[in-house]
Amino acid sequence: MSKWQPFPHDAKPFDYDRAQLQQAWADLHASDLVPWPGDTADPQHADACIAAWQHFHAGRFAQACDEAARAGTHGFAPHCKALIVYADHLEDDESRQQALYQQATDIAEQACAEFPDLPTAHYYHAYALGRYGQSISVVKALRQGLGSKVAESLDSALSLAPDYPDAHLALGLYHAEIIDKVGKMVARMTYGSTREKAMQHLQRALELNPRPPVTQVEYGNGIFMLFGDERLEEANDCYRRAAETTPLDAMEKLDQEFAASEVAAL
């Protein structure tokens, strides 16, 4: 990709030094369960991973990818997340967006192979592949068999970490989106997706970590896909809560701004 768009907001509140990042880590990563790199990696890889996360949280997504690449496979989490969040919020070109999702998927696949007992590796694989599937259309992705791969990775993450907030959120949305796109009967018979399964995972994600704006936004998206106008006001309330959140990093600021724009359009 020739040019990365800059983070369009003031990043100073999110520019954590190493000590500040470690102090805020539990809150910043309560949803994706990434461990503090200093506890899990050798010093060389840890330093690169920490630097990558500092760039990521401050909205310097290109620099985050560069630092993560220095850590090799150990840097998969900040590398994948920087690629995906940038593509989600700041990349307007669809072909480049798909390329970013595919790159993140490839990185996460390598992490799954190297770290098969690490739940975050399986989650990030599902996260990246799911975004890629959405970018080419959910129906097309299902025809290509990508849906089952997303579900398998999320199941693997949850088997290793049953209280994984982001994995529950993603699996709830997986079932909700299939029901929304192919209908309740086909979803149940072909993919095993039901409203009950979707809501079980969505509600568990909300119970585990309701604070981040993305949790509220995606929960709202999920219940609207499952229930439509019947629960529209509840979905709108989720967007309102997301818009009122105090963001802790650049990603949360982008999610909050998205929610605020949706609320303004109501």
pLDDT at 2 over 80: no
When pLDDT is cut at 50, 70 and 90, the band that residue 50 belongs to is very high
Residue type, 258: F
Packing angle of the helix pair 213-227, 195-208 (nearest 10 deg): 160
Residues 256-264: contacts with CB under 8 Å, at least 24 apart: 256/213, 257/9, 258/89, 258/217, 259/213, 259/216, 259/217, 263/236, 263/239
- CA-to-CA distance for 16 and 188, rounded, in angstroms? 46
Domains of the chain in start order, with CATH, are 16-157 (1.25.40.10)
Residue with tokens 């704006």: 213
Token pair listed for 178: 């299939």
* pLDDT tier, 43 (very low <50, low <70, confident <90, very high otherwise): confident
CA distance 109 to 179: 27
Q: For position 147, what pLDDT does the model report?
A: 86
Asked if residue 1 has pLDDT above 60, the reply is: no
**Residue 44: pLDDT band by 50, 70, 90 thresholds?**
confident
The pTM score is: 0.95
